[in-house]
Structure 1
Amino acid sequence: MKKCPCYHMNKLRVRGSASVHLEDVLENTLNRININAQVSITLNLTRLIVNFKRVILQAIVLRTAYSTLKGQLVRSIMYPKPVDFRFTKDLFKFILFLACISGLGFIYTIIVMIMRGNTIRRIVVRSLDIITITVPPALPAAMSVGIINAQLRLKKKEIFCISPSTINTCGAINVVCFDKTGTLTEDGLDFHVVRPVKSTKIENVEENIEKDSIDFMGELTELTSREGLPFDGDLVKAIATCHSLTRINGVLHGDPLDLILFQKTGWTMEEGAGDIEEETQRFDNVQPSIIKPTDDKEAEYSVIRQFTFSSSLQRMSVIVFDPREDRPDNMMLYSKGSPEMILSLCNPATVPEDYLSHVNAYAQHGFRLIAVARRPLDMNFNKASKVKRDAVECDLELLGLIVMENRVKPVTLGVINQLNRANIRTVMVTGDNLLTGLSVARECGIIRPSKRAFLVEHVAGEVDDMVNLTRLHLLLLPLFSRYRHLMMSLRRCIYQFFQIISQDLTLQMFF
């Protein structure tokens, strides 16, 4: 056996087969998260609350830096795109057109004055004078002085403009649009009254309709104190349970409207959390929230399922279970939303005949209305947690109306009056009831009290000559408004130009 020489080295080469490793198939966890769903996306600095302490959360970062909405806003401020104003383009086109006319006048003046035998100095001075009259050389300087003066006046009002060229464009604004809630009116809503439905329990529904026993209460039930609440009514149960409130560090958080209504009921909410044994297991369903009235210690209501509010659906719903019920499959659905949407989902036999008249009466005074309805459900816990929304939000029983007040801001009237004095048209953009928006518009001065307002309804399948004429007028109105001032200025310039070159006496007045 031969001895091998031994060398001291400070390097080591290891092959892949010699390294210790573990081969396993990686699980595709991306399929668990639907990144296209709005519920699966959380914004920056959003606090995630988990009932189970030992559950490991998994999150995917979708956008960072300038790809986020905040990053795009910062980038647009730091590196603004060159703004292409149509007003500036039209201005340069107009000046170019005047320059062409002045060129023709320049040539015409030279020819006429040469034929009359004038001196060269007189010909040059009067020919150049035609150009300076048509295209004023002091126009850029005058516009710069006006922009600087306007910027200084804005600065005195603590309005800082980083793009002075936009000031001229703002001067051409003739319409200003305002959002109603939070802009013209206060941010929050104040509770006004509640109008429950008064119904006489009769077995035969047809007799109930004939006797006209379904009607709103004659007097308003003001919820200004806890003593005024009908605690045993289903309307109060719906108000106390149908919401999306949650507790964060012991404090209720959620939609301000839901928070105001829940505080008016005086009920309490307890959010369930699993024990140590449940935390180690994976369940599809979390322990429901418990809603309890303060006066009845034995009563409690569990919110089994919650259908969140959707602006397209104009409603939200919850499925509630009462543990005191003998049957475990006796559930109750409470739903609230816009009066028009709830009306379309309710059983006509449960809707009073004067429902729309009450809705319109409150809307005409600027109140915001919320309709509340219910429906008994014959299903167990598992079925209630998996049932589709459309399957249960139908054939509802109307419970009543909640009337909220949204006051106009004190500064709104002064701002609207100032815009009206400047002949700037003001428009209110809102998704509320038309009559509510009309009332707020009259209160803040967008619609003057002496003016009449008309509500136009579209009837499907009926298109007459008046509708076609209105469409043509709406199409031509922006085009006419855009070029009206340009054509009037052009007509005046052409008239003055021909008046100058028609008589030699007119030329004498400029010297």
Structure 2
Amino acid sequence: MTATAPRSGSLTPAAPSSPDDTEAEAREDQARLLATLRTSLDGLAQREAARRLEVDGPNALTAHRRSGLAAEVVSQLVHPLAALLWVAAALAAVSGSAPLAGAIVVVILLNAVFAVIQERHAERAVEALSSYLPATARVVRDGSTSVIAARDLVRGDIMRVAEGESVSADARVIEGSLRVNMSMLTGESAPVSRTASPPREVGPPIEAGNLLFSGTTCTQGNAVAVVLATGMRTEIGRIAALSQRVRTEDSPLERQVKRVARIIALVGLGLGLAFVPIGTLAAGLPLQDAVTFAIGLLVANVPEGLLPTITLALAVGVRVLARQGAIVKRLSAVETLGSTSVICTDKTGTLTLNQMQVQRTWTPGGTVDLAGGEAADERSRDMLRAAAACTDLTTLGDGIVSGDPTETALRAAAEAAGVADTPQRLAEFPFDPELRRMTTIDRDPSGVWAHTKGAPEDVLPLCSYVDGGPLSAEERDHVLAMVGTWAATGLRVLAIARRSLDGARSGSPRDHVERDLELLGLVAMIDPPRPEVRDAVERCHHAGIRLVVITGDHALTAQGIARRVGIGADDMPLITGRDLDAMSERQLDALLTEHSELVFARSSPEAKLRIADALRSLGHVIAMTGDGVNDAPALRRADIGVAMGRSGTDVARESSTMILTDDNFASIVSAVQAGRQVYDNVRKFIVYIFAHATPEVVPFLLYALSGGRIPLPLTVMQILAIDLGTETLPALALGREPAEPGLMDKPPRRRTQNVIDGPMLARAWGLLGGTSAVLVTGLFLWTLVDGGWSPGDDVSRGPLHHLWEQATTMTFLGIVACQVGTAVAARTQTASLREVGLTTNPMLLWGIAFELVFSAGVVVVPPLQRLFGTAVPSPWMVLALLPLPLVTWGVDELDRGLRRRRRSLRTTVAND
């Protein structure tokens, strides 16, 4: 707990009483508790413990049973896009292309297996939670202490906990005192004290000074405690239950791909079924030929390469993010990152370095800015010597100092000042969360001293002297005012005091030692912000991304750090856990709507879940950071759960969809940028893939509308050669397209915005596809007419059959040529080709080279000629292909230029 301000919220202090009365009340309260649990200090009888174990069950975390693996695989094999690919595989098999059908089936199976693996994260999260529970526990039963399996603990057991041991169940301390690392529950790394004394203030159980929680670790001291809850009834069990109840939802891309798959399936099926009566009745085709052509129409409408291309593009995004320090566990999360509109971030270790440092000191001689390079004066050195003495640090074998980060920072500052000598420790009064101070009694060459450090508000009332004279009321007010000023900037302030003792008084009670102290001064520390965070925050603001700080730390500290890195304005609200608990859902929604950036301090797991739900209900896509066990439910509920790779727990990492290997907030922003880039690239290759449906479908329509007088311009095998052959590598290369200029200057897209929308389809099917259809159809008809064909002539046999094969070959090559222009045009959605550069995506150039070589092979290699029904074209026909890429690209470039010009004019008018 930060020692610069009172606890947040309106805690009710207990009525004052004498020490004797308080001790009597504590004993009476303890007796009532033991009676309620039907136990005693001698522990439970073995027979009673066995009975309770039978009733309550083992002290272990349990996972909900899930459906079997086979059922999960089947569910993945029948979702809409998988069904669409099954249709494509069946059509490929019917058309005589068994290898292509087999390849599509492999893609379906791989995607199903991958999806099932991702669905198992919840169970692994519970398994990771279980790893925090120790294997054994020391208990008192039948009056003697024994070691039992931790899973056999029951309510009412008397449990012993010593330094270095983990707590096996939720319990209440009844004897002794200890310090406990509760970071896995609270997110705060500083150990907290736990004693048998009942709390003086009413607050959340997690803050109660006499309660221990399962999974936490004792770092100092020893105690006897009575078990209150085991298994899923513990705090860690409650979090495990929350983690299992919270289910991840499909990403926006997953939902939209399913929607598009349904639309394409219905359109393709409708066109295919409609073609059968048209072909037989209007064109006079035999039924078998009409069915064959209907299959070709269906194949032309089914984008067989869409799912594998999306999967591989997202996989590329995963690799890019991994190189930037962000490991993504779910492919679809890459796209979700691009639509993130709110980042809910923790403070410690994410915005900050998680390394406490002394920034400045104050003594009666003045303020010394240590961070600014000023050297400590004599009074500051004297104060730092006392502060370093009042610590509990351990020096490891390799010379590294281990212990509380605050005390480590004090020792480092004392060493820098040259006064970190270690006095002889005679006695110690450990840090008490209620008293908010610590005192040690030490002997050095000058005598025996009591050294005290703690919250200024609690240490100052014990001080009677300063600078060799009495401490006046005016001086107290001045010190407290300075504390408030420093705390508001995010500094953690401690008061340092001392008192001279003789050896005979070193064993005096605490209240006799901690009085008439001499105030030496103040020490201001900070866990400094990461240097790159402020720039990352600016990038978020430019990108229209809101930032919300949700932390278990103290309110003023969180607010100060937020201001230092540029989060929030001066009037940004500061909401404590108690404030949030008092709000209705409507009030919380209003708060989140009215203020773009907020700080939530002292937040519980339920509070994080509630904030995440509120933001999602308002239409936001949220990324939530976390590192502790208590963060697991919120990480699963968020659209993107971001766990810390260095400081995070296994539970947080299992519950998240992304892990930061460097625990750095700036990596989240880089991941959002990469997500936006992936989303844009997905749209680019969808435009590229969809643009070829029009030149494939229009000739079939001409055939039908002409009553068969115009022959079919493509065979089914040629369509498959385009959809799964020539277009695949350029589409994959578009998934590696560099980011367009101004990518992070646009606001986030809405959760409801479709990845495939009207303007996109107009560009793909209308502009690019329509241009390609006109060019390709014209080339097909020109080839036929130049060879002597007239409408209605039979091309299925006789002298015109070779001419028809040449014409279908020109249709095939014409579509490939238009694909080249479409690929170059699809590289940018708004910018000109000059801005992005022609050679900035070398993979696309290699992809285009491959499709040209592949197309040439289909046309000139005899076995492929027979398979795909092609014929070698005349030289003039090949020359006629050369302008097609330029025309296709040029039409789109002109359209984008006109759109940029209109947008610029609208901006000029709006500014005027």
- Using structure 2 for the length normalisation, give the TM-score: 0.31
Alpha-carbon separation, structure 2, partners of 1:314 and 1:110: 85
Q: Where does 1:322-341 land on structure 2 (aligned, <5 Å)? A: 332=450, 334-337=452-455
Matched, 1:358 2:358: no
Query: Partner of 1:143 in structure 2?
Result: 310
Pair 1:104–1:345, CA change in 2 (3 A)? farther
The 3-state SS of whatever aligns with 1:352 is helix
Pair 1:454–1:345, CA change in 2 (3 A)? farther
Q: Is the 8 A contact 2:491 2:525 kept in 1?
A: yes
How far 1:146 sits from its partner (Å)? 1.8
Give the counterpart of 2:366 among 205, 214, 219: 219
> Partner letter of residue 239 of structure 1?
A
Q: Deviations over 1:442-464 (max 9, x none)?
A: 444445xxx55423456879869
How far 1:363 sits from its partner (Å)? 3.6
Matched, 1:304 2:456: no
Matched, 1:258 2:379: no
> Partner letter of residue 421 of structure 2?
T
Matched, 1:86 2:245: no
Alpha-carbon separation, structure 1, partners of 2:751 and 2:298: 21
Q: Is the 8 A contact 1:244 1:258 kept in 2?
A: no
Give the counterpart of 1:402 among 523, 534, 537: 523
Alpha-carbon separation, structure 2, partners of 1:463 and 1:151: 39
Alpha-carbon separation, structure 1, partners of 2:501 and 2:536: 52
How far 1:305 sits from its partner (Å)? 1.6
> Partner letter of residue 476 of structure 2?
P
Query: Partner of 1:243 in structure 2?
Result: 391
Give the counterpart of 2:165 among 37, 40, 56: 40
Query: Partner of 1:229 in structure 2?
Result: 379
Q: Is the 8 A contact 1:331 1:376 kept in 2?
A: yes
What root-mean-square deviation, in Å, do the aligned CA atoms of Structure 1 and Structure 2 show? 6.1
- Using structure 1 for the length normalisation, give the TM-score: 0.50
Alpha-carbon separation, structure 2, partners of 1:424 and 1:243: 42
Q: Where does 1:93-104 land on structure 2 (aligned, <5 Å)? A: 93-95=258-260, 97-98=262-263, 102=267
Pair 1:122–1:481, CA change in 2 (3 A)? farther
Pair 1:193–1:127, CA change in 2 (3 A)? same
Alpha-carbon separation, structure 1, partners of 2:520 and 2:422: 22
Alpha-carbon separation, structure 2, partners of 1:463 and 1:344: 36
Q: Where does 1:122-271 land on structure 2 (aligned, <5 Å)? A: 136-147=303-314, 149-150=316-317, 153=320, 167-176=334-343, 179-186=346-353, 188-196=355-363, 217=364, 219-220=366-367, 225=375, 227-229=377-379, 238-247=386-395, 253-255=401-403, 256-263=408-415, 264=417, 266=419, 268-270=421-423
> Partner letter of residue 266 of structure 1?
V
How far 1:336 sits from its partner (Å)? 1.6
The 3-state SS of whatever aligns with 2:441 is strand
Q: Where does 1:316-395 land on structure 2 (aligned, <5 Å)? A: 316-320=437-441, 332=450, 334-337=452-455, 352-372=476-496, 384=509
Alpha-carbon separation, structure 2, partners of 1:382 and 1:177: 50
Q: Is the 8 A contact 1:241 1:303 kept in 2?
A: no
How far 1:243 sits from its partner (Å)? 0.8
The 3-state SS of whatever aligns with 1:229 is helix
Q: Is the 8 A contact 1:245 1:258 kept in 2?
A: no
Alpha-carbon separation, structure 2, partners of 1:169 and 1:465: 26
Q: Is the 8 A contact 1:191 1:261 kept in 2?
A: yes
Q: Deviations over 1:250-291 (max 9, x none)?
A: 968344213124434715215xxxxxxxxxxxxxxxxxxx1x
Alpha-carbon separation, structure 1, partners of 2:321 and 2:582: 51
Q: Deviations over 1:212-244 (max 9, x none)?
A: xxxxx583256755652267x7x5674143111
> Partner letter of residue 220 of structure 1?
T
How far 1:195 sits from its partner (Å)? 2.4
The 3-state SS of whatever aligns with 2:366 is coil
Pair 1:485–1:440, CA change in 2 (3 A)? closer
Could you tell me which runs of 5 or more consecutive residues in structure 2 were left unpaired when the two chains were aligned. Answer: 1-143, 149-157, 167-179, 182-246, 465-470, 594-610, 622-638, 640-748, 766-772, 778-912
Q: Is the 8 A contact 1:245 1:252 kept in 2?
A: no
Q: Is the 8 A contact 1:192 1:404 kept in 2?
A: yes
Pair 1:155–1:360, CA change in 2 (3 A)? closer
The 3-state SS of whatever aligns with 1:269 is coil
Pair 1:430–1:165, CA change in 2 (3 A)? closer
How far 1:313 sits from its partner (Å)? 6.2
Q: Is the 8 A contact 2:449 2:501 kept in 1?
A: yes
Query: Partner of 2:572 in structure 1?
Result: 454
Alpha-carbon separation, structure 2, partners of 1:244 and 1:162: 40
> Partner letter of residue 40 of structure 1?
E
> Partner letter of residue 572 of structure 2?
F
The 3-state SS of whatever aligns with 1:244 is coil
Alpha-carbon separation, structure 1, partners of 2:325 and 2:395: 41
Query: 1 or 2, which has the higher helix percentage?
Result: 2
Alpha-carbon separation, structure 1, partners of 2:463 and 2:386: 15
Could you tell me which runs of 5 or more consecutive residues in structure 1 were left unpaired when the two chains were aligned. Answer: 1-26, 44-82, 197-216, 271-289, 291-301, 501-507
Q: Deviations over 1:314-337 (max 9, x none)?
A: 9451242669999xxx98472324
How far 1:307 sits from its partner (Å)? 1.1
Q: Is the 8 A contact 1:177 1:428 kept in 2?
A: yes
Q: Deviations over 1:110-132 (max 9, x none)?
A: 79969995767789868985896
Query: Partner of 2:590 in structure 1?
Result: 470
Q: Where does 1:424-443 land on structure 2 (aligned, <5 Å)? A: 424-428=545-549, 434=555, 436-443=557-564
Q: Deviations over 1:44-69 (max 9, x none)?
A: xxxxxxxxxxxxxxxxxxxxxxxxxx
Q: Is the 8 A contact 1:363 1:433 kept in 2?
A: no
Q: Is the 8 A contact 1:34 1:40 kept in 2?
A: no
In percent, how many aligned pairs have the same letter?
20
How far 1:496 sits from its partner (Å)? 8.2
Question: How many residues in Structure 1 have an aligned counterpart in Structure 2?
Answer: 372
Alpha-carbon separation, structure 1, partners of 2:368 and 2:323: 51
How far 1:36 sits from its partner (Å)? 4.8
Query: Partner of 2:172 in structure 1?
Result: none
Pair 1:241–1:464, CA change in 2 (3 A)? same
